[in-house]
Amino acid sequence: MTLSEFTTRTTDTDACGAFVAVAAFDDLLVDTPVRVDLENRPPIMVVRTDDGVFAVDDTCSHQDTSLSAGWVEGCAVECPLHEACFDLRTGAAMGPPATRPIATHAVQVVDGLVSIWVGGADAASDAA
């Protein structure tokens, strides 16, 4: 399965949520975010860094801009429109103009596959 096939796949998760494979670990380039479009869900940005693989909501909390078009440095992503930065570990807005956080998603890397938690936010916290 290619990276593009992973990142446009549909899901059959129920309300409880599940980990969904979105990419092969080796296909993720360091500090190069990828937008994952899952059916009936807001897009998610996945990025591999020197500190691990992170998944956060792809839409900037300031305006509707795709963060996967931005830049990743360390554990932060910078929005390409007005340059607000978000902490990839917590989703916290690190400075203006964004003031609200973005959601984070639990990530698993098993047997070379990167999976992200979708649905059931409370269960994701338990699974992380």
C-alpha atoms less than 13 angstroms from C-alpha of 127 in its C-beta half-sphere = 18
For 44, the enclosing helix (H) or strand (E) is: strand 44-49
Stretch that binds ligand FES, among 23-31, 39-47, 61-69, 120-128 (CB under 6 A): 61-69
**Cα–Cα distance measured from residue 73 to residue 47, given in angstroms and rounded to the nearest whole number:** 11
Residue 59 and residue 98 in contact, taking contact as beta carbons nearer than 8 Å? no
DSSP-derived letter for residue 38 is -
Q: Which of 60, 88, 107, 114 binds ligand FES (CB under 6 A)?
A: 60
**Cβ distance to ligand FES smaller for residue 23 or 87:** 87
Binder among 98, 102, 114, 116 for ligand FES (CB under 6 A): 98
The minimum distance between CB 63 and ligand FES, in angstroms, equals 4
DSSP code per residue over 82-95: T--EEETTT--B-S
Residue 49 CA to residue 43 CA, distance in Å, equals: 19
Distance of closest approach, residue 10 Cβ to ligand FES, in angstroms: 28
Please identify, among the stretches 22-30, 37-45, 80-88, 111-119, the one whose residues bind ligand FES according to the rule CB under 6 A: 80-88
- Total interface residues for ligand FES by CB under 6 A: 10
Give the residue with the Cβ less far from ligand FES, 55 or 78. 78
Distance CA 107, CA 99 (A): 25
What are the residues binding ligand FES (CB under 6 A)? 60, 62-63, 65, 79, 81-82, 84, 97-98
